[in-house]
Every structure is written in C-alpha cells, then in structure tokens.
Amino acid sequence: MAFAIGLIFALIIGALLLSISGDPVFDTYQRMWDRSFGTADTLSATFNRAVPLALAGLAVSVAATMGLWNIGAEGQILFGATAATLVGRIGADWPGPVLIVAMLLGAAVGGALWSFGPGLARAEIGVSEIITTLMLNEVALRLIRYLQNGAWKDPEGFGFPQVEARPDQAQLGQIWERAHLGVIIALVVIAAFAWFLNRSVWGYELKIAGSSPKTATYAGISMRRKTLGVMLLSGAIAGFAGGIELTGTASRLSENISNGFGFAGIIVAALALMRPSGVALVAVAFSAVQVGGLSIQTLGVSPAVSAILQALILFGAIGAAVLSTYQIRLVDRKVAA
C-alpha cells in the first residue's frame, strides 16, 4: 500500500514538474509505459533489469532483518562479477552448464568475501557496517579498473581498457523474448529466502536478534555469529546478482556492470519495507521507471526525470508508511503548559 501511494505521489508531482518545464506530460508517461510494459519484448527487458535490483534489494533486506545496513551491495555485485570472471577464465573449456553454475557459485563466494571484513569488524569491535561497506564499493570499482587496464586486459581489444569477454558457453539461455534464465533463478532465490527467514529456526533467531539483542543474548543466541553470518549471507546474495549480470546480459566484466543496482537495491528494500517477500514486485516497478526513463530522451525530455521519479516514489512511500503508523495530533501549547 505504501509503495502504491508513493508511486501515485511521484506521478502527480512528476506531472507538475513536466508541466512547469513545458514537456508533454501524457506523451512522456505514455512513452515510459510503452517502453517498459507495452510489448512482450519491452516487458522482457524490464524483467531482465529487475533481476539485479531484486537481488540487491534482497541482500539489503536480509541484513536489515537483524538491524544491519549493508550499503555495500554495489561493491559486492562488482566483486561477485569479478570472481565469476576469474572462474570463467579458469574453466574456459568447461561445458556450458557446468561453467555457468561454477561462475554463479564463484560470484556468491566473492560477494560473501567482500562483506566478510565489515561483518567481522561489526561483530568483534562494533565498527559501523554502514561506513565499511560503503568504502569497499570504491575499492571494488578501482580493482576492476586495474584489471581491465592490466592483468586481464583484452589482447584483442585494440588497446581499449577492457577485460576479455567471458566464454560463449557461459550464457544463460533465453526463456521468453529477451528475458534470460536469470529471471527464474532470481524468483527461486527470493522465494527460498522469504520462506527460510519466516519458517526456519535460524530466521526466527535472526528476527529476535534484530528486534531485541538483549533478549537474544538471554536466549543463548550468539550476536557475534549472527552478525557475521547475516553479513556473509547478504554479501553472497549481492555477489550472486553480479554473476547473473555477467552470464545474463553482459558479455564481459566492466566497471559499469552493476550500473548502480547496488545503491538502487537500498531503495527497493526500503519500498518493500525490508521484507524479502516484497522485493520482487517492487523491483519490477522500479525497473520499469528506469527503463522508461531512458526512452523519453527521444521526446526531448531529460532522462533526469526518471531519477526524480525514483526519489519521489521513495519519499511518498516513506511518508505514507509514517502516516499509517503514527497519528499526527495538533497540541494546544497553552493547554499543554
């Protein structure tokens, strides 16, 4: 409900901004709809883009279940894709299905390793995971820049700084129009984690640890192990998203392979109220706004409209959630005194 209110709020304010700037409101929104949901082909592209958004949102929401903020999904996606590329280079001659599975597992391990340091620092000495995960985003980006200009530079790239393309057999198959198998994989992963967090003992203990650390400690739940474990799990999910991108839509590792999905995943998780079960639907809607926003340039409308709509959706949803949770009352100061 909060997300729906936020979307309506964003469309109304967005229409006002478009009118003020002299841009056609109806044509702009019509164009965004057509390019994101209008045909089977455009819908499949929207689904493809929703995959990393949903997995990044899942990674953030899993950490938030224990009251932790993983702001490093962007870096974990990048390092996950880097680890998957390494596996692809090692197993360049392996059969397609074996290589794809190995690369996806490698991506998950890479994401977990990238979140290990922040998780350990938070669990052992109480260092804020917000700062450490955020800082590692830049480190992952710089690492890829180093690799594409050095050790992994494509010898057939005509001098351009790019990593050699992954093996051709490491390509997820198409299931419908442009939608690749990663769409199904992401849905299975999200459904599995939603069930696991709500039905398993580990998930129940995680919620207790997140809502009341003192109660968890009294019940014999190790906060240190839970903190480290959930950060590793969150990083593995984000890294897995990087593997899906590499084997699904991208042909090679690059510094743009994440394309801001990790940061957008924070918004997706917030709009889903940090519930893993809600990230898929929110990710599809958010993906449609992003895909549609890229298409309105042909109308002479700035693509920044898409970014503005994304921010307005978040603000509207947060406002709706606050108003539905708290009752605002006007207090007469004289009476109160």
CB hemisphere CA count around 312 (13 angstroms): 19
Q: Which residues contact 125 (CB under 8 A, 6 or more apart)?
A: none
CB atoms within 10 A of CB 297: 13
Residue corresponding to tokens 């991506």: 107
Q: What is the pLDDT of residues 36-59, one digit of tens each?
A: 998 999 999 999 999 999 999 999
pTM: 0.91
- Is residue 9 within 8 A of residue 316, CB to CB? The reply is yes
| Spatial separation of the C-alpha atoms in residues 64 and 45, rounded to whole Å | 29
Domains of the chain with bracketed CATH: 24-300 (1.10.3470)
What pLDDT shows up at residue 181?
95
The parts of the chain modelled with pLDDT lower than 50 are: none
- Is residue 3 within 8 A of residue 284, CB to CB? The reply is no
What pLDDT shows up at residue 199?
87
| Spatial separation of the C-alpha atoms in residues 82 and 243, rounded to whole Å | 8
| 255 phi, psi to nearest 5 deg | -70, -10
- Is residue 80 within 8 A of residue 108, CB to CB? The reply is yes
Which burial class, exposed, middle or buried, applies to 175 when counting CB atoms under 10 A from its CB (0-12, 13-18, 19+)?
Answer: middle
Q: What is the pLDDT of residues 48-89, one digit of tens each?
A: 999 999 999 999 999 998 889 999 999 999 999 999 999 999
Q: Which residues contact 223 (CB under 8 A, 6 or more apart)?
A: 123, 209, 213, 216, 217
The runs of H, that is alpha helices, within the chain are 2-21, 25-33, 40-64, 73-90, 96-125, 129-149, 182-199, 201-211, 213-218, 223-248, 261-271, 279-295, 304-325, 333-336
| Spatial separation of the C-alpha atoms in residues 3 and 269, rounded to whole Å | 11
